[in-house]
Chains A and B, each alone.
Chain A
């Protein structure tokens, strides 16, 4: 419950300042530009291709949005010196991490909801499978959640927001590039790296309207491990 209180306060922090809306507007504008240029552009495409294209590049924007949102979660508190106040409050470390993560996730979900008009526009001249749209958005939310959790971990490690963004980006790029490692290593390491790949192995099925339990579980596991690690980093003040 305390996590929810923190989440509500944190989310209000995003929406009470113009910066949150500016981030949303910039992301939406660039997303719209890509929608016109890549998903719709070129030769006449079928609805499923347009949707797939939309979810393809939207995954990149979701990761970027997750980094932008997560960089301030804990690093900002440390940068402004308010983290000790949080420590002193009667909340557990895991409530702090979970609350901030949930606020970031809600903001990310708001961004994703605001992009919904793009796949629905396809309905005007094409055929839209609402199942495909739902699967794509589930994938975006899971990918965004996992990226946000990794970002939260990065934010917990860093002393300021810039470092937090760099840490998060490095970790996410490392996770994304696991598919490359999977290609150059041998079994069973190749399987391990392949399974760890954040995008290449687990996201494309969502993009085409396919939901695999294994992909859902993977993203949930990444989210869990990253949040767990972030909690441990906060707890480290007791032994460092």
Chain B
């Protein structure tokens, strides 16, 4: 029998045991297949078994005081070997015994073994490491302290159990996962414009909602119309399940659930949302706009808007090679169509040389680069004189349109505007100063929604031209500057984007609403002149403020200003900053708050320092 001093540690055996396990791991996970794998796995198992046998011999030869400790270590070895055995039963041994992979013949047993063998391995190796560490610490002790080793054993088992628990909990949570999407997803509520439309109904309008019971999309749509129905007794709401009432669905042109039908007399509009909340998400976020569009289609007569052509106006056609690419007005056309408008082109060929068609609700002249023919100007002036509606948008380097603007009491200075303080950054060049942004609106009905939105509805003008009223004013014509530029905006006569002497700085008019009242019973002449055609061009119209400017302009010109109001949307919007906002945000985030934190820290620590008693050393030194 050995004495405790000569007995030494069993680290070599444990090292061999762990090396055996690592060899099995490499064989199974790295080599994966072939004779090399079998050989290395067999070698690994052999080494692990030999190490265990070595440990048995050590236990038998151990002094009595050490025998219990050796038995604990041997038990951990046994646990490791059991894990190894379970691994092979789940794999090759199981397949050899049953004739097919265990995962196919007994999937549940295979699953249990898949979880059990790594758990057992962990419960063997972690305590083994700790027990060995404890044994090494008292290798030379004449009598080893069983309590210390027991403590190490329990610590190791505790850590192993904690890891197994963590894996099990994570697995269960993954399998029974629940999730909440808190990103921007809400169904839009009825906006002011839609409420006004419903309030103004003069005939019954029936809304039929086709959804199965307890459908999430259906619930959102029902709630939207429930909010809207108190606005008018003429709005009827019916909720149906198409599967239960196929005949009603067929009569309204609906063959599936997931649709909303708005019907007034013979006219009906269908809004299809579907039943899947994920797919309907986008439509639900702009439900108010979708409903408003269909309400306009069934409740209001269709209006015709003519866009003049033939003078380089903004269009949705491809640019002519060699000419500068200018944003088209395809988005504006789409916006107008969504407002129940029939958009048509009006050129000399379509009769603009003689007169404006009688069915025109309004005529838009958007950014012509060449002057209009005298006959066209005469036709448009005659149209204005008889109560017509004109929408004119200028280009800084385009046609002056003086013959058309003069009767409206306006003139273009043909000088671009710029602002060196408040502008939108696009290219980080000096020319960005021509990208004006403003939230300076009047209370005119042509900007009702913008006034309500305030700074949330800032409008962008990318290269506006200076406008001013003619002197003396045209008798009988009333001008209202509905949108003004920032007061620091200057008329950049020399085009250097710097304010210079003689370049007038003021809140230049950007949009002017013109009205000439007519005798009783006749329509008043109305016009809106914009200093920049880009304001309604593609890309910029994606800005909320510009979109509202276009819609409110349309409504005022077509005499439906009472319907103006904000359409609610839960759609996300692009963030656009002016340069001054950029600067303010930069200083606030990079310096403002960190400096404030430092100041608080300085104040707190200094105050504490003052309160603290003087140290003895300082007092002694003073003496």
Contacts and interface: CB of A to CB of B under 8 A. Distances in A.
Interface of A: 15-18, 20-22, 24-26, 28-29, 31-33, 35-36, 40, 44-48, 50, 114, 117-118, 121-122, 124-127, 129, 131-132, 134-135, 185-186, 188-189, 195, 205, 208-214, 216-218, 221-222, 224-225, 228-229, 232, 235-236, 238-240
Given A132-B183, A210-B181, 11 more contacts: A35-B589, A36-B589, A46-B574, A47-B572, A47-B573, A125-B581, A126-B572, A185-B29, A218-B173, A238-B148, A239-B133
Interface in B175-228: 176-185
Contact of B162 (A25, A35, A225): A225
B155 A221 contact: no
Contacts of B182: 129, 131-132, 134-135, 209-211
Given A25-B594, A40-B585, A222-B166, A20 B601 contact: yes
A240 B133 CA distance: 7
A26 B602 CA distance: 15
A229 B183 contact: no
Contacts of A18: 601-602, 605
B573 A210 contact: no
A80 to B, nearest CB: 19
Nearest to B173: A217
Contacts of A211: 179-180, 182
Which one of B577, B598, B601, B602 has the greatest number of beta carbons of chain A within 10 Å? Answer: B601
13 contacts: A16-B604, A21-B601, A121-B589, A125-B575, A126-B572, A209-B181, A209-B182, A213-B179, A236-B152, A238-B148, A239-B137, A240-B134, A240-B137
A17 B158 CA distance: 38
Contacts of A134: 182
Contacts of B29: 185-186, 189
Contact of A44 (B166, B574, B604): B574
Interface in B580-600: 581, 585-586, 588-591, 593-595, 597-598, 600
B155 A235 contact: yes
Contacts of A240: 133-134, 137, 152
B159 interface: yes
B330 to A, nearest CB: 20
A55 to B, nearest CB: 11
A239 B134 contact: yes
Interface SS of chain B: helix, strand, loop or mixed? helix
B114 interface: yes
Given A44-B576, A118-B589, A132-B182, A32 B594 contact: yes
A236 B155 contact: yes
A126 B569 CA distance: 13
Contacts of B170: 195, 214, 217-218, 221
Given A127-B572, A235-B155, A132 B184 contact: yes
A221 B184 contact: no
B169 interface: yes
Contacts of A228: 158-159, 162
B66 to A, nearest CB: 16
Nearest to A35: B589
Contacts of B149: 239
A208 B169 contact: no
A15 B32 CA distance: 56
Contacts of A45: 574-575
A135 B182 CA distance: 7
A229 B595 CA distance: 38
B183 A129 contact: yes
Contacts of B608: 16
Nearest to A44: B574
Contacts of B605: 16-18, 21
Contacts of A205: 179
B163 A225 contact: yes
A239 B174 contact: no
B148 A210 contact: no
A162 B151 CA distance: 30
Contact of B148 (A47, A188, A189, A239): A239
Nearest to B148: A239
Contacts of A36: 585-586, 589-590
A48 B572 contact: yes
Contacts of A33: 589-590
A222 B598 CA distance: 33
A79 to B, nearest CB: 23
Q: Which 10 A-B pairs have the closest CB atoms?
A: A21-B601, A131-B182, A209-B183, A32-B589, A217-B173, A221-B166, A239-B148, A25-B594, A239-B152, A29-B594
B178 to A, nearest CB: 5
Contacts of B171: 195
Which one of B159, B169, B575 has the greatest number of beta carbons of chain A within 10 Å? Answer: B575
Contacts of B62: none
Contact of B575 (A28, A31, A126, A239): A126
B573 A127 contact: yes
Nearest to A205: B179
A189 B575 CA distance: 44
B130 interface: yes
Contacts of B169: 217, 221
Interface string B529-555: 000000000000000000000000000
Contacts of A135: 180, 182-183
A127 to B, nearest CB: 6
Contacts of B604: 15-16, 21
A185 B162 CA distance: 25
Nearest to A185: B29
A232 B575 contact: no
B153 to A, nearest CB: 9
